[in-house]
Structure 1
Amino acid sequence: MKKDFNHLQSLYWVFTQLCNDDCDHCYNDSSPFGKRISHDDCMAIIDNMPDRIDRIILSGGEPLADIKLLHAILDKIQEKYQDATQVMIQTNGDLLNEEKLQTLIDKGVSRFDIASIDRYHKKAGSRLMELADIFESCGVVGTEKDPLIEGEHYLAENSLSWGYWGASEEMWLGGNWARGKAMKHDIWMKDPDHNFCTILSGARNFLGGYDDIPNEISIQLWRINPCCPGTHFPMGDARKQKVSEVLNRASKNFVFKMLNDGEPLKMGLELGVSEEEAKAKNDELKNICLYCDHFLKCNKDKIFDENGVMADVEEVQG
């Protein structure tokens, strides 16, 4: 596990849930009426981010639907990190044009991921060739490689690039995660044997210690999470707490250590909940995220204090 939580490889930040689309499978309830946080909150969150981050991924919602706030965030990131941090944007691409793209490049964005090239989004991928022309006009190179997986050398060699992906029946439709509109429309994945903790965007390695997937955390608006879907209770509030301090606290908490290992069924071992009991409940709920929610709700008082601060191993066992 990492020792220095003031350095992260990757931070995924949903700074807005405002979106021009209203997809049935959106796990974080993004829509034209999606939740937003204030400019001041966003500035405070950046102040509370670790001193060193290899890459920051800005997502939504639709980042370009909240473009004034997006520009302010990019300016603040540039002020804090200069060119030491790779800035990426995930967008559905619907609102992108040459002028907006050039402004984003000028403000330090060097990677663009179009996350809507599928039949489930409003445009159903129909803008792909138009987007390709827009990117080409601004000198952005198209690639099928994933910069999160390829790592630092790939990013250094391809300083301005774009790629695309989308939902499928197997992946991301319904979010797979039992969250948001996927839950409302009953299209979440009902498969208790699928351990979402172990995949990219899951909790595994959010505290470090593994080399096969990036060391990444998620901030949903202000909620500091070990994974993109987020735990039922967040690890902390990025508006008020230093992210590095929250992660240091999590590294001493047995529940979050098990999530870091991608072993959610072992979260309760220190609390007397056997792996067999956890598996039986997970089989009943049919989704590991729902089991995680259930476990945290049932054991909140043992995991967090009255202020929502995580207890460490010694405090719980003592």
Structure 2
Amino acid sequence: MNTSFNHIQSIYWVFTQLCNDDCDHCYNDSSPFGKRISKADCMQIIENLPEKVGRLILSGGEPLADIKLLYAILDKVREKYGDTIQIMLQTNGDLLNTEKLQILIEKGVQRFDIASIDRYHKKAGGRLIELADIFESCGVIGTEKDPLIEGGHYLAENPLSWGYWGASEDMWLGGNWARGKAYKNDIWLQNPDHNFCTILSGARNFLGGYDDIPQEISIQLWRINPCCPGTHFPMGDARKQKVADVLEKASKSTIFKMLNEGNPLKMGISLGVSEEEAKSKNDEFKNICLYCDYFLKCHKDEIFDENGVK
């Protein structure tokens, strides 16, 4: 596990929950009425990011639905990091055109991921050919390789690329987190044996120490999380706290060390909750995210104060 967090490999930042779509399986309640934060808040969050960030993934919501804010964020990121950071953008592609793509490239975006090529989104993947033409016209290479999994040098070797994926019965719909509209619409994965903590979007390696998946944290608007689903209480507030300081605090917590190892059922051992007790409760909830919520709520005062992790 890392001891200093002034350098982090990957940050996944949902800077807006505003979206042109309103998908039933959205884990963070994004919609045309989704939550937003101010430009001032976003600028302060960037100030509070670590001194060095390998890659920043900007997502939503739909980033292009909040395009003025997206442009301002890209300008501020370039001002802070120059060319030392890799920038990725996740978008449903509905609002993308050649003019916007050219501006995004000029502002430093290197990788574009279209996250809507399935029947559950508004366009149901119907723009894929049109998007391919738009990318080709701007010199953006199409590839199915995942720049996160393929290793830290992928974007340096492929400075402009795009790919696509979408929801399926196995993942993002049938395999969804018990969060947001997926939970409200009862389409979350009810399988207590599936450990979200071990996958890239989960908490494993958010504090570092492993080399098989990137060290990645998630910021949901301003909430600093060890995973994309987000813990019930955030580790801290990126508007008010240095992200590196928040992670350093978490690294001293036995509970968050267990999440970093991908072992949420062992979170409570130091507090007298055995792994057997945790497994029984997890079986009852049928989803590891719901067990994590339950555990953190039960032990809030021992783990968190008004600023997040004690």
Same fold by TM-score greater than 0.5:
yes
Which residue pairs with 2:15 in the alignment?
Answer: 15
- Measured after TM superposition, the shift of residue 79 of structure 1 is 0.2
Alignment match, 1:217: 217
Contact 2:168–2:174 under 8 Å retained in 1: no
Separation (CA, whole Å) in 1 of partners of 2:174 and 2:104 = 30
Mapping of residues 174-193 of structure 1, within 5 Å: 176-193=176-193
CA RMSD of aligned residues (A): 0.8
1:112 and 1:163 in contact (8 A); partners too: yes
Is the 1:48–1:239 Cα contact (8 Å) retained in structure 2?
yes
Report the equivalent of 2:75: 75
Q: What is the rounded CA distance, in whole Å, between the counterparts of 1:175 and 1:20 in structure 2?
A: 24
Q: 1:308 Cα deviation (Å)?
A: 3.9
Match of 2:3 in 1: 3
Aligned partner of residue 163 in structure 1, secondary structure? strand
Task: For 1:37 and 1:155, locate their aligned partners in 2 and report how far apart those are by CA, in whole Å.
Answer: 29
Give 2:117's aligned amino acid: I
Counterpart amino acid of 1:210? Y
Tell me if the contact between 2:110 and 2:155 (Cα under 8 Å) persists in the aligned partners.
no
Output aligned runs, 1:125-204, within 5 Å: 125-173=125-173, 176-204=176-204
- Give yes or no for contact 2:281–2:291 (8 Å, CA) kept in 1: yes
State the TM-score, normalized to the length of structure 2.
0.99
What is the distance in 2 between the residues matched to 1:199 and 1:186?
22
* Deviation (angstroms), 1:217: 0.1
Partner of 2:122: 122
- 2:283 match: 283
Structure 1 residue runs of 4 or more that deviate by more than 4 Å after TM superposition: none
Instruction: Report if the CA contact (8 A) 1:6-1:244 is conserved.
Output: yes
CA distance in 1 between partners of 2:296 and 2:236 (Å)? 14
- Structure-1 separation of matches of 2:152 and 2:192: 34
Number of aligned residues: 310
The aligned residue for residue 90 of structure 2 is 90
Cα distance in 2 for residues equivalent to 1:148 and 1:277: 35
Residue 300 of structure 2 aligns to which amino acid in structure 1?
K
1:310 maps onto 2:309 in alignment: yes
1:25 maps to amino acid: H
| Residue 309 of structure 1: how far off its partner (Å) | 3.5
* In 2, Cα distance between equivalents of 1:117 and 1:164: 7
Residue 127 (structure 1) shift: 0.4
The unaligned stretches of length 5 or more in structure 1 are 312-318
Q: CA deviation at 1:3?
A: 1.8
Letter in 1 for 2:145: K
The letter for the 2-side match of 1:197 is C
Aligned partner of 1:243: which letter?
V
Structure 2 counterpart SS, 1:152: coil
Deviation at 1:175, TM superposition (A): 6.3
> Residue 108 of structure 1 aligns to which amino acid in structure 2?
G
Paired amino acid for 2:176? N
Q: CA deviation at 1:236?
A: 0.1
Task: Give the letter for the 1:41 counterpart.
Answer: D
Percent of aligned positions that are identical: 81
Instruction: Give 1:242-253 correspondences, 5 Å limit.
Output: 242-253=242-253
Cα displacement (A) at 1:156: 1.3
Distance in 2 between residues matched to 1:309 and 1:18, nearest whole Å: 26
Given that 1:140 and 1:161 are in contact with CA atoms closer than 8 Å, whether structure 2 keeps it comes out as yes
Normalized against structure 1, the TM-score is what?
A: 0.96
Is the contact between residue 218 and residue 225 of structure 2 (CA under 8 Å) also seen in structure 1?
Answer: yes
5+ residue gaps, structure 2: none
Deviation at 1:154, TM superposition (A): 1.6
